Amino acid sequence: MLAEELVLKQRTKILHALCSSGSAEHLERVLDILLAKGALIWEDYQNIQVPGRTLYTNARQLLDLVYTKGVDTCGLFLAALKLALPEAQAVGLSFSESCSNLQENDECQSTSNQTLLAQRPSLVHKLQGCVDGVLAALLDSGHFSSADCDEVRLPIYTPTQQARRLLDHVRSRGDLAASVLLQYIHQKQEPGLPLNQRELTPPKEFLKYQKKLSSSVSAQACFLSTYAGTSHMSLDDIYTDGQLELAEVNAHGPLGLEDIVGLVGIVNEEADTVLVSGEAGSGKSTLLQRLHLLWARGVALQDFLLLFPFSCRRLNSEHNELSVQELLFQHCCWPDRNQEEIFQFILDHPHQILFTFDGLDELKQSFTDEHRVCCPTQRAPVHVLLFNLIQGSLMKGVQKVVTSRSEAVSPLLKKHLRKEVVLKGFSPTGIDSFVRKHHRDPTVAAKVLESMQANTALLGLCHSPVLCWIVSQCHKELLGCGEGSPKTITDVYLMILQHFLQHQSPLKSTMGLGWLQEHLKTVLLLGQLAFEGITSTCYIFSGTDLEACGVTEKDICMVFLIKSKDMSSTHSKCYEFSHVTLQCFFAALFIVLSSNTNRSVIPKLFELENRETGLTRVCFTACLPSSDQQQQASEKESKAAETPNLQITAMFVSGLLSQRHQNLWLHCCPSAAVEKKARQVARCLSKGIQKHFRSIPQPVQGEKKSMHAMPDFVWLIKCLYEMQESRIAKDAMSKLEVDHLKLTYCNIGPVECTALAYVLQHLRNPVGLQLDNNSVGDVGVEQLLPCMHICNSLYLRNNNITDEGIRKLIAKVIQCDSFQKIALFNNKLTDACMQDFSYLLKTKQVFISLRLGNNNITAEGAKQLAEGLKANQTLAYLGLWGNRIGDAGTEALASSLERSNSLVWLSLVGNGVGSAGACALANLIRKSTSLQELWLTENCITRTGVECLIQALKHNTHVTSVWLRNNDLSLEDAEEMKQLESRLIF
Ligand code: ADP
């Protein structure tokens, strides 16, 4: 089909794909590409991007235009669309066969302004994280005024929009301004190198080496490791984008893979190491694998000539001292010739080299900066090399990407980070897309998705890619199990255990034994191996290790253990658990089933403070049979057992010892022993929580008693949830007496929300629940509903919540008597949920505070909210900072609020409010008997508007301040107005 026809036929679908998210990003990306390719001229662009017009209208305008421009433009448009849309949005669209070449022209054009246009897509990308720097340069060079800078930095813009507004402004200021911008970007990329000198011609041997390395990286990366034992699942077929966010700067939207090493979000310019953190199973290794593959194929990270991938797990087994050169060549790829020349080239071009280290948390040694090595030919233990590389004392300038679990990142390591990016698992559309990729048969996929969606606790778990994989893999069990559908993480792992035990090696059960009983020997052997590994930070097992535990070929074929991949060929046959969480699960099975472990193993597992070198080791060693003890004791290194893995193991132990699973252990071990262990766990959990409560400081007089939970608190809560025994949860919670429970920046996702709600519903008195800066999302909100009756306020700032989540939340909280406050700053709310808030305001005459800043609310939404406000007599705080309600929205709100005698604080900062809005607010001031503070900073109010406010203030003595900084007023005007009314603040 011709490109023109494709555009016409798919018009509705394209519009939906471009606009349904409510964000203009996809449309703007397409426009960037079309401008760069010359398919649109500047005037076209201006006719499409008309400020104030709806996104759909703009997109329609673009579709009309490309259609009229003919087949070539339509072809380019489709190719641009394919590139700009995320996978999930592009589903169902077909793109033209003749894939137009969208390769960006990175040659310098005859004028800087032309270069700006030809390189627009990559400039938008490169400008992120340095908009402020460019603005400062333009201010210095006199091309921009501070008002120009403010306009670019308006908080309503996303970072990419700021970059585009900057490019648009620069264009209008002429060629010199454009060259200032380009110069800045070039210097950023290549410090010390003048413009246009980035070309380099590597020696021939180097190019050969590059080819060899990339083909070996590609071979290593093209299959997903979890599937090694079962089937070969190609990464291309299964890879699904996870949610990536910056750890520090919240204002940036979701990141793409290339942003990991890009300019966005840099917190320390001098550092070379980027950390990708996330929970176990959140997809860190897979993400690195994807980056490796894209690099090897020449699709991404093309600023890097060489990429050296390392696995810390494998580096653990390197016992020789090495130099950096040996490390690179022996562990990644050996050059056939001219080693010295190649290494010299690497040393001379550090900015074009990338190292990746997967699983820093799995390294036996914790990060320190004590031992310095600065010379690349000096030999040192591998961990010392690694720490020096991370700090940059070795191979300064080489970029390094390191992955680690969040809990295992020490403050010392943070000091050396260029930026930290957090991987937060799959989004709801990611889950959908993953399951559809996993099951080629669409009817199976639909059924699996349906059963996931029917069980919200399970759906919550599926945000973690590893659990999503397990659940999807075990779809037969899932579809058949009705009532007993898995709820906890332990349930999910038990499901996979049963799945593989029964499917991979079906034993003929002649004696009618249970599935676990039939395979008990294997489970115990693997369990012991796992347990010993976890307690000695060992994740790779040699043939001898396996023999020592009695693990046989047959057990290995069970897929729980897979062959260890290695870039170097030194380790012939080694095995590892197919995921570290599976190793923890087997360790937990061993603790529960074995009669060999001693009594202190469970208390030690739940005890956090004593996890220093030696102590835990000694304790766990004592838990093993004596022959093993000798062997363990003879090991040279006795390292600190790793807390995150022990915590996961403890969580599984809680789950396995739950009453719900006690039948499973019948005939596998003595019931009395299991019951005893279960009582031990319950005692440990209760003690742990009490200890946490005792650490809460007494409140300052007059303030509320507040508890800021530590990450361990979340872990204990998750253990309580795994146990699924409300009596124990109730017991643990009954003694908590706080007014405010703060869990900000605690990595709370949907899984944690389920556990929190399960435990918090047993609190005796209502609390304020503060969950700001987590990744709760709509699914998490739904999980929280069971504890809403015990919340008087809910803070969910910056949590990826959309209208959908709000709808469910409000339907619940209107039934909760004590619910009074909600804060939803920086989420993804639009006008579509304003009706729900309106209903909340009408229905709940105890509601006090509504904060909806930095969302996507327009005049339409404000009008709906105003309907609710008319009928409310309790709201005291209304915050709408950083939306787009404009004059019309302000007029509607002001007119409704005139009747309120409860409102004391109103913020409409950064909302495009002009003088008409200000005059409406003046009326509110005139009539209100309660209003004290009015925030109107960063709007476009002129002298006329302020004069109205002054007149109104003459009739009002309650208002204490009206904030008017950054409006359309000259300094003289502001000075004059201030003289007339001292409550105005400019
Ligand atoms: P981590 O390194 O954070 O512990 P992994 O990358 O090992 O997590 O992921 C565990 C499993 O989850 C993978 O083996 C795979 O089955 C699944 N998985 C993780 N990320 C993705 C992804 N982006 N796309 C598809 N599957 C994924």
- As beta bridge partners, residue 234 has 223
Write the CA distances from 21 to 55, 89, 941, integer angstroms.
Answer: 10, 9, 31
Ligand 1 pocket check: which of 231, 466, 582, 583 to mutate, most ligand atoms within 8 Å of Cβ?
466
Closest among 870, 787, 866, 797 to 829, alpha carbons compared: 797
| Collapsed DSSP state (helix, strand, coil) of residue 770 | strand
Residue pair 722/657 in contact by the 8 Å Cβ criterion = no
Would you say how long the chain is, in residues?
A: 986
**Is 238 close to ligand 1, i.e. is its CB under 6 Å away?**
yes
The more confidently predicted of residues 540 and 198 is 540
- Give, for ligand 1, the residue of 222, 260, 279, 286 to mutate: max count of ligand atoms closer than 8 Å to Cβ: 286
Region 445-451: mean pLDDT is: 87
DSSP 425: -
Spatial strand order in the sheet of 353-358: 244-246, 417-423, 273-277, 399-404, 353-358, 306-311
Give distance in angstroms: CA of 538 to centre of ligand 1: 20
- Is ligand 1 within 6 A of the CB of residue 644? no
The DSSP letter of residue 367 is: P
Residue nearest (by alpha carbon) to ligand 1 atom 26: 239
Q: How far is the CA of 109 from the centre of ligand 1 (A)?
A: 43
Do 144 and 135 touch, CB atoms closer than 8 A? Answer: yes
Structure confidence at residue 196 (pLDDT): 36
Higher pLDDT, 54 or 784: 784
Contact 985, 958 (CB under 8 A): no
- Give the number of the atom of ligand 1 that is nearest the alpha carbon of residue 580: 4
Give rounded-to-5 percent helix, strand, coil for the chain. 55, 10, 40
Q: How far is the CA of 627 from the centre of ligand 1 (A)?
A: 37
User: DSSP 3-state assignment of 725?
Assistant: coil
Per-residue pLDDT tens over the stretch 811-832: 999 999 999 999 999 999 999 9
Query: Cβ distance 226 to 578 under 8 Å?
Result: yes
Whether the Cβ atoms of residue 728 and residue 758 lie closer than 8 Å to each other: no
Runs of H (alpha helix) within 734-854? 750-760, 777-784, 803-813, 834-843
Q: Which among 43-57, 58-72, 861-875 has the top mean pLDDT? A: 861-875
Evaluate: CB of 689 within 6 angstroms of ligand 1: no
Atom number, ligand 1, closest to the C-alpha of residue 423: 3
Task: Report whether 261 contacts 401 (CB < 8 A).
Answer: yes
Q: Which of 277, 361, 469 to mutate to test the pocket of ligand 1 (most atoms within 8 A of CB)?
A: 469
Give dist(CA 347, CA 341) in Å, integer: 10
Which conformational region is residue 301 in: left (phi greater than 0), alpha (psi within -120 to 50 degrees), or beta? left
| Long-range contacts at 548-557 (CB < 8 A, ≥ 24 apart) | 548/628, 548/631, 549/525, 550/525, 551/525, 551/526, 552/525, 554/505, 554/522, 555/522, 555/525, 555/526, 557/229, 557/504, 557/505
Q: What angle do CA 657, 662, 663 make, to 5 degrees?
A: 155
Q: How confident is the model at residue 565 (pLDDT cuts 50, 70, 90)?
A: low
Average pLDDT of span 314-330: 91
Map residue 981 onto helix, strand or coil: coil
CA distance 405 to 280: 6
Tell the burial category of 815 from Cβ atoms under 10 Å away from its Cβ (0-12, 13-18, 19+).
exposed
Task: Pick from 325-329, 368-372, 439-443, 742-746 the range whose average pLDDT is largest.
Answer: 325-329
Return the top range by mean pLDDT from 122-126, 140-144, 700-704, 905-909.
905-909
Map residue 101 onto helix, strand or coil: coil
Instruction: Say if residue 574's pLDDT is above 50.
Output: yes
Cα 528 from Cα 530, distance rounded (Å): 5
Assign 104 a pLDDT band (cuts: 50, 70, 90).
low
Asked if pLDDT for residue 197 goes beyond 60, the answer is: no
Nearest CA to ligand 1 atom 27: 465
Percent of the chain with pLDDT over 70: 89
Answer yes or no: is pLDDT of 195 > 50: no
Beta-bridge partner residues of 274: 401, 419
- The whole-angstrom separation of Cα 918 and Cα 639 is 66
Rg (CA), the chain: 30
SS3 string, 794-820, reads EECCCCCCEHHHHHHHHHHHCCCCCCC
Q: Which range is least confidently modeled, 550-564, 618-632, 670-684, 945-959?
A: 618-632
Ligand 1 binding pocket includes 136 (Cβ within 6 Å): no
Q: Is 527 in the pocket of ligand 1 (CB under 6 A)?
A: no
The per-residue pLDDT for 833 is 97
The pLDDT value recorded for residue 682 is 92
Q: Is the CB of 278 under 6 A from ligand 1?
A: yes
Confidence (pLDDT) at 226: 57
Residue 635 has pLDDT above 50, yes or no: no
Q: Which pLDDT score is estimated for 607?
A: 82
Compute, in angstroms, the gap from residue 51 CA to the centroid of ligand 1.
42
Average pLDDT over residues 195-199: 40
Ligand 1 atom closest to Cα of 289?
6
Ligand 1 atom, smallest distance to 466 CA? 12
Q: Is 667 helix (H, G, I), strand (E, B) or coil?
A: coil
Question: In 3D, which of 912, 908, 917, 777 has the Cα closest to residue 851?
Answer: 908
Single pTM value for the model: 0.69
753 in Cβ contact with 776 (< 8 Å): yes
What is the structure's pLDDT at 736?
A: 80
Give which of 873, 968, 944, 911 is closest to 934, Cα–Cα. 911
DSSP summary character for residue 230? T
Residue 492: predicted pLDDT: 87
Q: How far is CA 897 from CA 115, 336, 917, 946, in A?
A: 52, 78, 13, 20
pLDDT of residue 253: 67
Q: Is the pLDDT of residue 630 over 70?
A: no
Q: Whose CA is nearest to atom 12 of ligand 1?
A: 466
The finding on whether 282 has its CB within 6 A of some atom of ligand 1 is yes
User: Residue 553 — pLDDT band, cuts 50, 70, 90?
Assistant: confident
283 lines ligand 1 (CB under 6 A): yes
Measure 330 CA to ligand 1 centroid, in angstroms.
27
**Cα distance between residue 363 and residue 366, in whole Å:** 7
pLDDT at 254: 75
pLDDT of 570 reads 54
pLDDT of residue 641: 39
What's the whole-number mean pLDDT along residues 928-954?
96
**CB of residue 430 inside a 6 A radius of ligand 1:** no
Instruction: Give the pLDDT band of residue 920 (cuts 50, 70, 90).
Output: very high
Residue 610 reports pLDDT greater than 50: no
Counting Cα atoms < 13 Å in the Cβ hemisphere of 577 gives 22
Q: Does 469 contact ligand 1 (Cβ within 6 A)?
A: yes
Contact 225, 234 (CB under 8 A): no
- For 830, list phi and psi in degrees, rounded to 5: -130, -175
Residue 845 token pair: 């005459």
Kindly tell me if the per-residue pLDDT of 622 is higher than 60: no
Ligand 1 centroid to 919 CA: how many Å?
Answer: 56
**Mean pLDDT (the chain, rounded):** 85
Query: Is the CB of residue 240 below 6 angstroms from any atom belonging to ligand 1?
Result: yes
In this predicted structure, the answer to whether residue 744 has a pLDDT above a threshold of 70 is yes
Helix (H, G, I), strand (E, B) or coil at 892: helix
C-alpha pair distances (Å), 424 with each of 236, 254, 796: 21, 11, 17
Q: How far apart are CA 645 and CA 361, in angstroms?
A: 10
Is the beta carbon of 239 within 6 A of some atom in ligand 1?
yes
Residue 874 pLDDT class (50, 70, 90 cuts): very high
The pLDDT value recorded for residue 642 is 61
Instruction: Write out pLDDT tens, residues 231-279.
Output: 567 888 889 999 998 887 655 667 888 889 988 888 888 899 999 999 8
Confidence grade of residue 629 (pLDDT, cut at 50, 70, 90): very low
Q: How confident is residue 502, by pLDDT bands cut at 50, 70 and 90?
A: confident
Lowest mean pLDDT: which of 419-428, 638-647, 959-968? 638-647
